[in-house]
Amino acid sequence: MDKVSVILLNWNGLKYLEKCVESVLNQSYENIEFIIVDNGSTDGSILKIQKKYPSFKYIINKENLGFAKGMNQGIEISNGEYILLLNLDVFLDPNYVIEGLNRIKKDEKIGFIGGLEYIWKDNTLTDRLHISCGPMYLRKRMQVTSNNNFNDEQVCFGITGSFPIVRKKMLDDIFSVSGYYFDEDFETGWEDTDMRFRAFLRGWKTLYYPKIHAWHVLSASDEGKYRLTQKNSKYQVRIFRNRYFVILKDLPVEIKRWLRIYLLLAEILMVPYYLFLYPRSFLSLISAKKEYKNYKKSMIEKRKNIQKNILINLDELKKMFIEF
């Protein structure tokens, strides 16, 4: 029986962490290694879990190192052939792991698999779909979107980043090319999109599989503020900046040329949109451009390794872009 490493990243998750852990322990699949990475929590959540479950593997950071670095720490000490990357505000269906594994094993080129995402609200597991539910594709202005086809299994660009099951061989493959799993320069935001690009370019598939499901809180880490313009300025800067990182690092030259009109139009339209409707976000956009310039040289170096190791026909990538 293949081992599954569940890596749960915690940061001040007192409200949800215990329920999330219980949903992992209640899985019908037995061979699970549980790793909890704590990013400098100050609410007592990790102490409570450590006391209750001393046999888990723990990594305790003194400060919040961001999603990318925290997850990398967990991946580095994991022993599973498959890894479940888990947010603290997720409640898994008891058969999520076993049914996900049964499907991913049928095709050795599936690198990611994930399913339906319902809303967990006020301690209730609802039957309402989460805003980020569904198979994910790309807009030509470079933004991830769902095609709203929730019922059909399909190969797509991405699935929810809150509870994907990933194949360790895929992670090792992209590591061999780039030297990292998640890019830690991203900190939090778009780090999963960057990983999806790198995996896609190496020929790995992402499968949306609606026969498996879980529940997820709407932006539990930021008091339910799930729209970018509602987030704090620091978060907004990272999101804007990291989008530029992905465009620079991951888009092959042919795809950049194909998208150039859409990217230019998006760049022009963002200025009046944020300036007049969301002035605070406009300031974040300006700051993001400045930060992007500081990282540009290192991102170009990372790009070289990614682009010289592409294994797919780029027409396959074009199929992932579905709208402006």
Residue pLDDT tens, the chain, 324 long: 899 999 999 999 999 999 999 999 999 999 999 999 999 999 999 999 999 999 999 999 999 999 999 999 999 999 999 999 999 999 999 999 999 999 999 999 999 999 999 999 988 999 999 988 999 999 999 999 988 889 999 999 999 999 999 999 999 999 999 999 999 999 999 999 999 999 999 999 999 999 999 999 976 444 455 689 989 999 999 999 999 999 999 999 999 999 999 999 999 999 999 999 999 999 999 999 999 999 999 999 999 999 999 999 999 999 999 999
Torsion, Cα 232 238 239 242, to 10 degrees, reads 180
The pair of three-digit structure tokens given for residue 67, joined into one six-digit string:
């999603």
Q: Locate tokens 């888009």: which residue?
A: 251
- Asked if residue 275 belongs to a domain, the reply is yes
Nearest-angstrom CA–CA distance, 158 and 105:
18
- Asked if residue 140 belongs to a domain, the reply is no
- Asked if residue 234 belongs to a domain, the reply is yes
Could you give the number of structural domains in the chain?
Answer: 1
Nearest-angstrom CA–CA distance, 318 and 140:
9
- Asked if residue 280 belongs to a domain, the reply is yes
168 neighbors 83 (Cβ within 8 angstroms):
yes
Domain span holding position 289: 228-318
Nearest-angstrom CA–CA distance, 190 and 68:
10
- Asked if residue 70 belongs to a domain, the reply is no
- Asked if residue 248 belongs to a domain, the reply is yes
The pair of three-digit structure tokens given for residue 216, joined into one six-digit string:
């997820």
130 neighbors 116 (Cβ within 8 angstroms):
no
Q: Is 188 helix (H, G, I), strand (E, B) or coil?
A: coil
Task: Answer whether 0.85 is exceeded by the pTM.
Answer: yes
- Asked if residue 265 belongs to a domain, the reply is yes
- Asked if residue 243 belongs to a domain, the reply is yes
N residues, the chain = 324
**CB atoms closer than 10 angstroms to residue 125:** 14
